[in-house]
Amino acid sequence: MSRLRFIERKDTPAFNQLLQHREDRIDSQPIRIRLYHRPNRHLHLRADRFRVCADAFKVNLDIHPSACRHAGIGADRGCSVQTCLSLAKPPRFEDTSPPNPVKEKRVASYEPDPKLKFTFGLWTVGNIGRDPFGEAVRERITPPQICQLLGEAGAFGVNFHDNDLVPIDATTAERQQIVKDFKAALKDNGLVVPMATTNLFSDPAFKDGAFTSNDAKVRAYAIQKTMRAMDLGAEFGAKIYVFWGGREGVESDATKDPVEAVKRFREAINFLCEYSISQNYGYKFAFEAKPNEPRGHIYFAVTGSYLALIPTLDHPDMCGVNPEVAHEHMAGLNFVHQVAAALEQGKLFHIDLNDQEFGRFDQDFRFGSVNLKHAFFLVKLLEDYKYNGPRHFDAHAFRQSDYEDVKAFAKGCMRTYMILKEKAARWNADGEIQGLLKQINREDSGLSKLTKKFSAANAKKLLETSLDRVELAKHPLPYEKLDQLTMEVLMGVR
């Protein structure tokens, strides 16, 4: 008998865990699960999700009458309730089905796993669909409404720019009220705020950049605004602070000295690192590169540019990167390689997941919706190397979508990640694929020892070693086969 306790929104993964634990018993016999109500704890139960899970897994969901009474639901199933039920006391699950040895293929639920920390920005699901050629197509919704949408979609957290939450000209009293309402909405929807950032691109003051502006007053204002935004993020417990320099660039190099721009940027970051330390905020800074848009040319065009800057900062340990799929794909680059470079240096502090046609304007499409193969290798990289930071979806729904469809978009981002995670595990467990990998990675411990570290003796030995290039070129590399097997995993036939 399994017993699982659920606290706040951890209910769904725990439920999945129970089902996984039972995966080898799934056959025609439905699993019976009883939901009890347990005194003295606090929990939010999403009845609608249990219905979905129950349907997908042929589960009989019996809700004990005491739980129903407490949740204020009458029906024995209680699962048609579409809203978040607030239970003052938590339930307990008991798996009461008889063991069944018959193994069948598991039908995964792909529900978002809180351990993967799926987050969205207020500006992403709150995007009203304006573009350079057209006006807004969706009504603006408030941050608490966005929290509700994200809570219903099953997200882990929400991030914001200072002015996504508090308008740039809000009074102190307005700010206080907004903060209070937002805190309540986070709690109600079981969301956290892992990351915060500053809007240093919308206001006309920043039309020629923020930290790199030619005007010392604008540079000072940008630093001041960032300090205030850091204060705001810290109020919500954010520990990652993103810097996306959307206006840090030029249309013409006649207008700004590019060497001076790097120096100005470094100076601002050094100042802000000290500010974070002085306030005990414990922030990690994550720099986000983009080659162009909205500027003709943006400084620090690719993730590698920031990786090169970081060691020159006063507090390199506090600083890492926040690469975004679309930003590297716009430039025709291999995003997976940029992320790998950051991971290898221990500098992947945050990641912006979305999708993008190569070479187009910044599209911010739903994760995995364009380049499935790249998305697969990205997820595989993050999972294989145990990336533990938030997986932030910096994307927005099509301009044609209404808010129901925006919710479908948010769910789709997370679901695609979950599916690709499973595909990656499948790839790693595939005997034929692993066999090929062994074959192509030819080890030679003696030679590897020689080349690992330079010494005069190693160099001498290496020079004396006979390495026949004609023989080397003969080694088979069945990469077509390996790639086809990869595609078959992706296409769902393996």
| Closer residue to Mn ion, CB minimum distance, 94 or 394 | 394
Least distance in angstroms from the C-beta of 210 to ligand GLT:
11
| Closer residue to Mn ion, CB minimum distance, 113 or 288 | 288
Count of all residues that appear for the chain in the document? 494
Least distance in angstroms from the C-beta of 244 to Mn ion:
6
* 181 in Cβ contact with 166 (< 8 Å): no
From the list ligand GLT, Mn ion, none, which binds 208 (C-beta under 5 to 8 Å, kind-based)? Answer: none
- Among positions 19, 195, 242, 406, the unique one binding ligand GLT when judged by CB under 6 A: 242
Cβ neighbours, 10 Å, residue 263: 11
Separation of first and last alpha carbons in the chain: 33
Return the residues of window 172-231 that contact ligand GLT according to CB under 6 A.
197
Binding flag, residue 303, ligand GLT (CB under 6 A):
no
Return the residues of window 305-364 that contact ligand GLT according to CB under 6 A.
324, 352
From the list Mn ion, ligand GLT, none, which binds 197 (C-beta under 5 to 8 Å, kind-based)? Answer: ligand GLT
Binding flag, residue 394, ligand GLT (CB under 6 A):
yes
| Closer residue to ligand GLT, CB minimum distance, 94 or 164 | 164
- The amino acid at residue 49 is R
Binding flag, residue 416, ligand GLT (CB under 6 A):
no
- Among positions 123, 182, 285, 349, the unique one binding ligand GLT when judged by CB under 6 A: 123
Give me the residues that bind Mn ion (CB under 5 A), please. 324, 326, 352, 362, 364, 394
As annotated, the active-site residues are 161, 164
Binding flag, residue 160, ligand GLT (CB under 6 A):
no
Binding flag, residue 244, ligand GLT (CB under 6 A):
yes
| Closer residue to ligand GLT, CB minimum distance, 73 or 196 | 196
* 111 in Cβ contact with 49 (< 8 Å): yes
From the list Mn ion, ligand GLT, none, which binds 45 (C-beta under 5 to 8 Å, kind-based)? Answer: none
Least distance in angstroms from the C-beta of 445 to ligand GLT:
45
Least distance in angstroms from the C-beta of 124 to ligand GLT:
8
| Closer residue to ligand GLT, CB minimum distance, 46 or 161 | 161
Least distance in angstroms from the C-beta of 91 to ligand GLT:
39
Least distance in angstroms from the C-beta of 281 to Mn ion:
22
- Residues contacting ligand GLT: total by CB under 6 A: 9
Give the residues lining the site for ligand GLT (CB under 6 A). Answer: 123, 161, 197, 242, 244, 288, 324, 352, 394
